[in-house]
């Protein structure tokens, strides 16, 4: 839990004082370390104060199943209509983050040189912590054919063009809502994704199509990347990812219904 026990206690006190309902979204791979007694107490206090939990996937555990509502993550297909697009560059593999690149990005840097796929280029895009930025820049200067980078925060339009230009995008972990936003942005632009296998990702691959969501057993490796690219290239370019039931209007309506229900229940309690 990022917040301190004191901060949680203050939050819960203010919620009660001002009669405010609390709704929390739980991402599928989010997990809390056991922590000490104070951390466990704070989590329990926050859980008891929560009026409803939202999950993207049936496999996501929550503290109270009776308070849990499934609302699938929305796609972004309609959001970028009219944006300038880019042509796909064969052999370009992208790792992109809308906020900050995760530390596990470091483990991807040598993959293009270890892969059997020839002339592979890894494109790393997004802001980065100083230590990761130094590692990326050093690797790119030594192996410019295999690694390029754009280490800065990007606009929506720039993200769209970077994703368009890649043959495959790696999402190296799916622990946070931001990671899910990246994954669905790529799928919404009709580009395939490679990500580590979890129960949630296995279910999602069955829904959107395994030819669009490729799974690696454990962290992404050169072997996993070779296999995913081979499958991508063997897939006919006729279909799109199946994102039925994930339009923004459907999702908004589901949230509105939940908020209204929680408000009614909260006012009666």
The pLDDT value recorded for residue 99 is 84
Is residue 183 over pLDDT 80? Answer: yes
Assign 146 a pLDDT band (cuts: 50, 70, 90). very high
Is residue 1 over pLDDT 80? Answer: no
pLDDT digits (tens, 9 = 90+) for 2-18: 568 899 999 999 999 99
Structure tokens at 167: 């043959």
User: How many Å from the N-terminal Cα to the C-terminal Cα in the chain?
Assistant: 28
- CA dihedral over 230, 233, 236, 239, signed as positive or negative: positive
CATH superfamily of 92-234: Glycogen Phosphorylase B; (3.40.50.2000)
Task: Compute the distance between CA of residue 105 and CA of residue 67 in angstroms, rounded to an integer.
Answer: 36
Is residue 237 over pLDDT 80? Answer: no
The pLDDT value recorded for residue 30 is 54
One-character DSSP codes across 118-142: TT-EEEEEEE--HHHHHHHHHHHHH
Q: pTM here?
A: 0.89
Helical packing angle, 156-165 and 177-188, nearest 10°: 60
**Cβ distance 96 to 161 under 8 Å?**
no
Helical packing angle, 5-17 and 37-49, nearest 10°: 20
The pLDDT value recorded for residue 34 is 57
Burial 236-267 (b: 16+ CB within 10 A, else e): eeeeebebeebeeeebeebbeebeeebeeeee
Mean pLDDT of 121-131: 97
pLDDT digits (tens, 9 = 90+) for 213-232: 999 999 999 999 999 999 99
pLDDT digits (tens, 9 = 90+) for 58-112: 888 999 999 999 999 999 999 998 899 999 999 999 999 988 999 999 999 999 9
Q: Where are the domains of the chain?
A: 5-73+247-267, 92-234
């Amino acid at each position: 839990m990022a917040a301190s026990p004191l901060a949680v206690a203050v939050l819960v006190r203010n919620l009660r004082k001002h009669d405010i309902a609390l709704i929390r979204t739980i991402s599928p791979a989010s997990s809390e370390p056991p922590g000490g007694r104070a951390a466990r107490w704070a989590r329990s206090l926050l859980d008891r104060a929560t009026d409803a939990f939202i999950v993207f996937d049936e496999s996501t555990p929550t503290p109270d199943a009776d308070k849990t509502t499934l609302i699938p993550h929305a796609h972004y297909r309609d959001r970028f209509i009219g944006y300038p697009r880019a042509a796909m560059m064969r052999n370009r593999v992208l790792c992109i983050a809308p906020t900050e690149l995760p530390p596990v990005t470091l483990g991807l840097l040598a993959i293009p040189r270890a892969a059997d796929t020839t002339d592979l280029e890894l494109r790393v895009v997004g802001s980065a912590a100083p230590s990761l930025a130094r590692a990326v820049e050093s690797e790119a200067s030594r192996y410019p054919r295999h690694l390029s980078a754009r280490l800065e925060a990007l606009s929506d339009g720039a993200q769209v063009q970077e994703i368009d230009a890649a043959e495959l995008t790696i999402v190296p972990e799916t622990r946070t809502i931001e990671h899910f936003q990246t994954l669905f942005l790529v799928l919404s632009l009709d580009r395939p994704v490679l990500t580590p296998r979890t129960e949630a990702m296995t279910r999602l691959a069955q829904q959107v199509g395994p030819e669009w969501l490729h799974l690696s057993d454990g962290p992404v490796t050169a072997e996993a990347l070779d296999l995913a690219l081979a499958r991508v290239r063997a897939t006919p370019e006729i279909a799109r990812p199946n994102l039925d039931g994930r339009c923004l209007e459907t999702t908004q309506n589901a949230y509105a219904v939940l908020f209204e229900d929680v408000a009614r229940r909260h006012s009666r309690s």
